[in-house]
């Protein structure tokens, strides 16, 4: 039997060219980054320092030009696009600042749709799990409401339920409280932690809010991950 890797995420010697600014090449570079199962990590730093790029590389939405991106022992940077999409659907959930809910569908339908790509939840169990998750985030009375009829806080609750619906090992959250007022942001943050605990997810949270970041066990300052130098 193959022994499971002790590190859930391991990036090594990763580089990705981001473009050109002021006549200089802008590059994301990360020598070593490791995350163990069930860790809760806040990624902080000023805009443009590489926080979101790091999440996109971990998720496989962005491919590095060089280096290794090992998720559960698999180097996702070497997977074919279709295989990478299936791997992401199975192992990684994503919560965005802008929610990314599908407007023609109800809250319940949005969460059910979130289970289609992972293949971990049998089709006949999906509606029941979606209902259970939405009730768990306090939206049992809003199951059949479309996103336009939900408050911003409610939309983010639906997005969190959808992100964990397929039972991913990793939850990536990119400024999930950035569009919320302070009271709603705090409630959503607490909910995110509660859901991660209940589902057993590892959490990587990008935030500009240093007070929220300080409430996670680990903070990583991404300052310096993106640099500009040399000729394009």
Strands 226-229 and 170-174: unpaired
* Residues facing residue 216 across a β-bridge: none
**What is this structure's pTM?**
0.91
Between CA 56 and CA 63 the distance in angstroms is 8
Identify whether the C-beta of residue 93 lies closer than 8 Å to the C-beta of residue 65.
no
Burial pattern 103-128, b for ≥16 Cβ within 10 A else e, equals: eeebbbbbbbbbbeebeebeeeebee
Q: What is the pLDDT tens value at each position of the chain, 232 positions in all?
A: 344 457 899 999 999 999 988 888 999 999 999 999 999 999 999 988 999 999 999 999 999 999 999 999 999 999 998 999 999 999 999 998 888 899 999 999 999 998 887 778 899 999 999 999 999 999 999 999 999 999 999 999 999 999 999 999 999 999 998 888 899 999 999 999 999 999 999 999 999 999 999 999 999 999 989 988 766 6
Between CA 161 and CA 195 the distance in angstroms is 8
Q: Which two three-digit tokens encode residue 219?
A: 């903070």
For the chain, which domains are there?
Answer: 38-62+78-221 (3.40.50.300)
Identify whether the C-beta of residue 185 lies closer than 8 Å to the C-beta of residue 177.
yes
- Write out the DSSP string of 24-75: EEEEEEEEEEEE-TT-EEEEE-STTSSHHHHHHHHHTSS--SEEEEEETTEE
């Amino acid at each position: 039997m193959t022994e499971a890797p002790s590190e859930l995420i391991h990036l090594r010697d990763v580089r990705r060219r981001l473009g050109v600014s002021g006549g200089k090449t802008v590059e994301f570079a990360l020598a070593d980054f490791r995350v163990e199962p069930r860790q809760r990590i806040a990624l902080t730093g000023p805009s443009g320092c590489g926080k979101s790029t790091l999440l996109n590389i971990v998720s496989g939405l962005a491919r590095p030009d060089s280096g290794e991106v090992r998720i559960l022992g698999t180097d996702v940077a070497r997977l074919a696009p279709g295989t990478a999409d299936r791997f992401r659907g199975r192992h990684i959930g994503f919560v965005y600042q802008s929610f990314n809910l599908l407007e023609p569908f109800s809250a319940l339908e949005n969460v059910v749709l979130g289970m289609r790509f992972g293949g971990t939840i049998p089709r006949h169990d999906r509606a029941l799990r979606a209902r259970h998750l939405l009730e768990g985030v306090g939206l049992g009375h809003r199951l059949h409401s479309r996103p336009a009829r939900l408050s911003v806080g409610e939309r983010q609750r639906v997005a969190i339920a959808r992100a964990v619906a397929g039972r991913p090992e990793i939850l990536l959250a990119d400024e999930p409280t950035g569009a919320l007022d302070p009271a709603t942001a705090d409630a959503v943050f607490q909910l995110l932690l509660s859901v991660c605990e209940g589902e057993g997810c590892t959490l990587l949270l990008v935030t500009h809010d240093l007070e929220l970041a300080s409430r996670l066990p680990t903070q990583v300052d991404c300052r310096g991950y993106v640099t500009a130098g040399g000729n394009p």
